[in-house]
Structure 1
């Protein structure tokens, strides 16, 4: 027994000291005499893993687990399989591991993170709750809470972080994660305490300390320097440091068509395709060859079917690793590749890190700089990215002539809205609405909305009922501001067409001010509802200004919050003014640039041509302003 232990120690020491090859030869000799020895199989698996031979290592870990080698073998096999996006196989191994050792925190955490990374949140709830009942490990607690958050269990997740953080000194790295579910609860005392702690670190230049998620950060912080540095810290922490593919030097100047690629997980019933479906359908196939690199869920929605019919080359990369997906894109010799996700859920900027395309750009999904060196351009406009914003982008800005946001004129028009009574709305009152999700509702925006209600007696505010905690807290804050809680009316989420139809029951929409409505503002305008906003200080807070100008309705953009209250209150008190404005929006639907899909597509294609021709001429990227095609 002692000699076997000594031999195991010697072999393990060899493996850990970079002599895995010699150890594997000895282990192989020993396994020929005892092929099912769990300890030897485990050592073989470790040696293969340390040698980078992951496929062989996975099989050895599985064999070791199957012959009684312990839960750790199943754990490591599962983690390696998960890293290769072989999710079902990974889960099978992890389930063997948890069956063998039901209280193993590492295996439970691996189940939670594997299901989280595969967007299979519902399957992970029981494992997350079991993990929460067992562990004190802050990272495991954080992972479990974020999985609950992804199941819209916002308050439950926020309570986990309250227990982790407490009122005293806290691990800074937990603060950013804690903010994610908390923003959905609208419990501003807690939220603002987290934000204050986070800002303390940023004021000291410690942008990565809190490990904040860039998209969450943009929804509450309008400081463009902080936006850039927080995103850069996240990218440095989370994206792989890979060797980019060698740049192509062969000429394509004689190529008949520009090859355009789009990379996204949102080619389904999602806001991105709600906006982009018409663009895909309108692309000039004589001049552009369109490739879609797709890792979206297959929902078979009409939006997904329109997308599939519209694109010339559809490539499903769901099961491909980032390296393999990048190699496939490189083989297609793409002139310009657009990433449509950025630092948002299920984004795969790791693919872009390989630089598989001659030119790479970011568009639509993420309202800010990606802060990575391998994105050459960001497509924007002069409202969301004025010249004063240029220093806070690592990309060069390619600015479209009206709004950066495309829209689909073929979207179903708002149908029968039904009755106000069916939505719990008073039939004769002035109905203001604010249909942004609850994580966008900050104290400042809500205070403005309550000032509007105070100026328009009997009016109500119609909101989305996303979170019981948010509803409870918003009603309480309204009372504190002197507005009766019953003047806030909540409705559940509805399918896009039905939601746009019921919007017509409202009179005026009030915007969230740190993170505007993006698709939400376009939806409101498509339904013919005026949206009142105020000028912002970063991309996410300037989107509604961009959209309203493209709708030829700049009078709805206030210079500040006082003027926003004044504009909204005036609309609320003057029925004729509201009617005239709605008539103007209805007329502008067919004349203004915002919903002119053909005009937008021509401008977008001109932008593509400008970027690609500059690249083909061997010139470095530079800021570009695209003229209007008219």
Structure 2
């Protein structure tokens, strides 16, 4: 109650043994309300209204009390009645707007606040509340104007500072949010809500430690604030502190059992702890509490997708979009699901929609990764898309008009003799220092670096670690867990570490840090291994490849980086020590028919490739095809694939469709396989190496870009050119020739491991030395 209008009257009321005039009784009711004695205030109001039923001030106060106890229908009736009796009181309309806002009738609330301001333009509380109504409608610019006007009228208006900070958070103007919220806290150091909002801003800035401190302060000031407990849990979860995060979410739920968001976050954290069943129950409870909860539908869909239940997952993603057509996360998730089913037309459409809704790097990186799978995109079109990423996201961050080696004072190139005696500092940046193909191929390099010449820094951008992570840590001189650090913060850390050569191992794959590279924190920047194409970033100087994947003279036009070609293949393979032995006997000799296989990602299985494989099966009488991939855990996906082959005149009994199983059991599949079929245009990498290591020859088709030439690189290094096709017809002919020569297949099966071990593909020391020579030449 910022203003009140006294109604003159000669009547009097008794309070206890004391007789009060009506103005005194009204004053006592207001004092009781302001002191938080709501029942006493309500009792006095009702006594006054018995004597004077049309007392608008008391009707209004009763309505405000009803708001406090969340009895909004009663509040609406009482305040509306007060306005009917006295329509010229501005704070009546302000209170009416508050009721309507609480009822999520923000458009009507705006009209009420405007009526209040028409009666009293200098009413800061009404300006503030009008801002709240605009905020509820996500009309952020309008909300900012209202809060700023409230502060102009009332410079010490703490709530307006807090609300302005919140809307700056919603606009992703985090520096302004922090500054504004700190002003609120300077006025009131015990303002719990402001600490909670400050925590949100700091978390978004990539300052998790400061955010945690802010949330903890909010909780100390108000232990019953479920939002602060939930937000603290989110930040702890992002830092991989899952046990503590779970405690926070459970506390939030104890304080507010109807907090669907807390259940969703608890479910997400339980997934990180390897408890998918418990997570499923949490997501289901979140949806039960809020059937339109977009976040819960997204998270449940992601859980189902990761379990291989693609069809069911897509139902939840689509529901999320139905509830909120502008949910960028839902469109992104549905796009990825379509990609994993090989439906690139739908995937690309949803990725582009994601980018339209929320033009963030993640959305565009996912699109770029996707188009590498598509037959219809040529090199030029793909390169143009990568250049667009650079223009939109990276060029605004680039260091302007500075030669590469003059950007940092520490650069040895500018320090003369120092460069001859100091170690070169190498920084590897990856989200995949764990059980992941990138880690498998970078381990031999990390294991063989010359630490007399190089100082090794590994920047691990993932909150998940495993035993493979622990092994990689032993190879590094410095290990930095950087997940959760903002791009600015990580770039600054790299500068402080005085990295000479910074190496990206992710490209446009998940959790990449390309925007750190865009800030040019190191004088020399390279991309390697993680992504089979250009990054498009002009801030990245070099891309390491080989002459098979990127032929000299033709590939340069489609790369933003200078290409550095390794002699032979750029891969170095270290097999899993738990790989099963090769099964000596060729399966075809006992089965009486040839068994082909593909254990590649399902996303690589496009209609054109399936047609090619159908031609192979038709050409090799009685042959079978094993397709094994996680997506085939889903029965609907399995049925759809069977139907696609049926349209190509391949009977179901010729197909053996298997879901994913744990490694190394996964590799036992090769005991029943004679010949592996490479995918196209996105050829196999790890899958090809594993098949060859298990004694299985892999037939590959060569395309016009790196992603379509990985098999070419691997087989060329093994001098197995007989397995390399340059046309679809040649691909089929090679398969037929192999199938008709079981003696040769048997010889290949028994000799492939020895052949690999003797090749450059497993020369760990040799490849590392080549790389180090390249680094020293660059330096």
TMscore range, shorter length: 0.7 to 0.9
1:380 and 1:400 in contact (8 A); partners too: yes
| Cα distance, 1:78 vs structure 2 | 4.1
| Cα distance, 1:432 vs structure 2 | 0.9
> Aligned to 2:573, which of 407, 416, 440?
407
Residue 526 of structure 1 is matched in structure 2 by 693
2-side partners of 1:258 and 1:547: how far apart? 30
2-side partners of 1:234 and 1:345: how far apart? 15
1-side partners of 2:685 and 2:519: how far apart? 30
The total of aligned residue pairs comes to 587
| Cα distance, 1:367 vs structure 2 | 1.8
1:146 and 1:177 in contact (8 A); partners too: yes
Task: Indicate the structure whose relative CO is greater, using CA pairs within 8 Å and at least 6 residues apart.
Answer: 1
Structure 1 residues 54 and 201: alpha-carbon distance in aligned structure 2, compared to 1, 3 A threshold: closer
2-side partners of 1:87 and 1:98: how far apart? 16
> Aligned to 1:160, which of 310, 316, 322?
316
Q: Does 1:254 align with 2:420?
A: yes
Q: Secondary structure at the match of 2:735?
A: helix
Structure 1 residues 65 and 92: alpha-carbon distance in aligned structure 2, compared to 1, 3 A threshold: farther
Q: Secondary structure at the match of 2:429?
A: strand
Structure 1 residues 503 and 579: alpha-carbon distance in aligned structure 2, compared to 1, 3 A threshold: same
| Cα distance, 1:598 vs structure 2 | 3.1
Structure 1 residues 339 and 130: alpha-carbon distance in aligned structure 2, compared to 1, 3 A threshold: farther
Q: Deviations over 1:104-129 (max 9, x none)?
A: 44445555667789998776433334
| Cα distance, 1:2 vs structure 2 | 5.0
Q: Secondary structure at the match of 2:564?
A: strand
1:431 and 1:508 in contact (8 A); partners too: yes
Residue 158 of structure 2 is matched in structure 1 by 11
Q: Secondary structure at the match of 2:420?
A: coil
Q: Does 1:194 align with 2:360?
A: no
Residue 27 of structure 1 is matched in structure 2 by 188
1:248 and 1:358 in contact (8 A); partners too: no
> Aligned to 1:433, which of 597, 600, 613?
597
| Cα distance, 1:325 vs structure 2 | 5.2
Residue 380 of structure 1 is matched in structure 2 by 545
Residue 341 of structure 1 is matched in structure 2 by 506
Structure 1 residues 501 and 607: alpha-carbon distance in aligned structure 2, compared to 1, 3 A threshold: farther
Q: How does 1:499-578 map to 2 (within 5 A)?
A: 499-500=666-667, 502-578=669-745
| Cα distance, 1:370 vs structure 2 | 2.7
1:85 and 1:319 in contact (8 A); partners too: no
Structure 1 residues 12 and 369: alpha-carbon distance in aligned structure 2, compared to 1, 3 A threshold: farther
Q: Does 1:602 align with 2:741?
A: no
Structure 1 residues 404 and 135: alpha-carbon distance in aligned structure 2, compared to 1, 3 A threshold: farther
2-side partners of 1:380 and 1:373: how far apart? 17
1-side partners of 2:760 and 2:233: how far apart? 51
Residue 370 of structure 1 is matched in structure 2 by 535
2-side partners of 1:271 and 1:260: how far apart? 21
1:20 and 1:50 in contact (8 A); partners too: no
| Cα distance, 1:98 vs structure 2 | 3.4
Show structure 2 runs of 5+ residues with no match.
Answer: 4-33, 35-94, 96-123, 130-156, 166-178, 400-405
1:274 and 1:411 in contact (8 A); partners too: no
Residue 218 of structure 1 is matched in structure 2 by 372
| Cα distance, 1:279 vs structure 2 | 2.6
| Cα distance, 1:590 vs structure 2 | 4.6
Show structure 1 runs of 5+ residues with no match.
Answer: 32-39, 613-630
| Cα distance, 1:570 vs structure 2 | 2.0
1:121 and 1:150 in contact (8 A); partners too: no
Question: TM-score, normalised on structure 2?
Answer: 0.65
2:215 and 2:229 in contact (8 A); partners too: no
1-side partners of 2:490 and 2:407: how far apart? 16
Residue 180 of structure 1 is matched in structure 2 by 336
1:412 and 1:497 in contact (8 A); partners too: yes
Q: Does 1:128 align with 2:283?
A: yes
Q: Deviations over 1:576-610 (max 9, x none)?
A: 44346557746643544323333322322222223
Structure 1 residues 196 and 231: alpha-carbon distance in aligned structure 2, compared to 1, 3 A threshold: closer
- Pick the structure with more helix per residue: 2
> Aligned to 1:62, which of 210, 215, 219?
219
Q: Deviations over 1:153-174 (max 9, x none)?
A: 32221222344668xx998985
Q: Secondary structure at the match of 1:253?
A: helix
Structure 1 residues 444 and 138: alpha-carbon distance in aligned structure 2, compared to 1, 3 A threshold: farther
Question: TM-score, normalised on structure 1?
Answer: 0.78
2-side partners of 1:429 and 1:180: how far apart? 37
2-side partners of 1:409 and 1:584: how far apart? 16
1:179 and 1:194 in contact (8 A); partners too: yes
Structure 1 residues 499 and 42: alpha-carbon distance in aligned structure 2, compared to 1, 3 A threshold: closer
> Aligned to 2:193, which of 35, 42, 54?
42
Q: Secondary structure at the match of 1:533?
A: strand
Structure 1 residues 554 and 329: alpha-carbon distance in aligned structure 2, compared to 1, 3 A threshold: same
Q: Secondary structure at the match of 2:656?
A: strand
| Cα distance, 1:299 vs structure 2 | 3.0
Structure 1 residues 124 and 283: alpha-carbon distance in aligned structure 2, compared to 1, 3 A threshold: same
2-side partners of 1:305 and 1:27: how far apart? 46
Q: Does 1:288 align with 2:454?
A: yes
Q: Secondary structure at the match of 1:608?
A: helix
2-side partners of 1:262 and 1:122: how far apart? 36
2-side partners of 1:162 and 1:48: how far apart? 32
Structure 1 residues 11 and 476: alpha-carbon distance in aligned structure 2, compared to 1, 3 A threshold: same
Q: Secondary structure at the match of 1:260?
A: strand
| Cα distance, 1:194 vs structure 2 | 0.9
